[in-house]
Amino acid sequence: MSRTGSFMAGLLIGGVVGAGVALLVAPAAGKETRKLIRDKVTEVLNEGKEEVEKVREVVREELTKLAQSKDALIETVLDKVQNLKSRGETEIPQEEPSVD
């Protein structure tokens, strides 16, 4: 056999042996790898859910503050309108309609 032939035979045998060893070892490593991936995905999803809940809480608080500010603003505007209406009624004389 030539050197090239020997090299190719060794490469082929090495590949087959390596593939056989990989098949024997892979299922356990594959299960471990899948478990690690599943655990990491679960962890990331849980962290994501926690962050979403934190954001929801902040949004709820801000909406509550906004609603309170809106209510206070409406009350202020209504008070000013009522005040202007009262001033208008006392400061501007009402003309009686004349019948000619």
Is pTM beyond 0.75? Reply is: no
Residue 5 lies in a domain: no
Residue 39 lies in a domain: yes
Domain count, the chain: 1
Tens of pLDDT, residues 31-47: 777 787 788 889 988 88
All residues at 6 or more sequence positions from 9 whose CB lies less than 8 Å from its CB, including other chains: 1
The boundaries of the domain holding residue 33 are: 25-87
All residues at 6 or more sequence positions from 1 whose CB lies less than 8 Å from its CB, including other chains: 9
Tens of pLDDT, residues 70-90: 999 999 999 999 998 888 777
Distance CA 68, CA 71 (A): 5
Q: Name the average pLDDT for the chain.
A: 81
The answer to whether the beta carbons of residues 11 and 3 sit under 8 Å apart is: no
The answer to whether the beta carbons of residues 9 and 1 sit under 8 Å apart is: yes
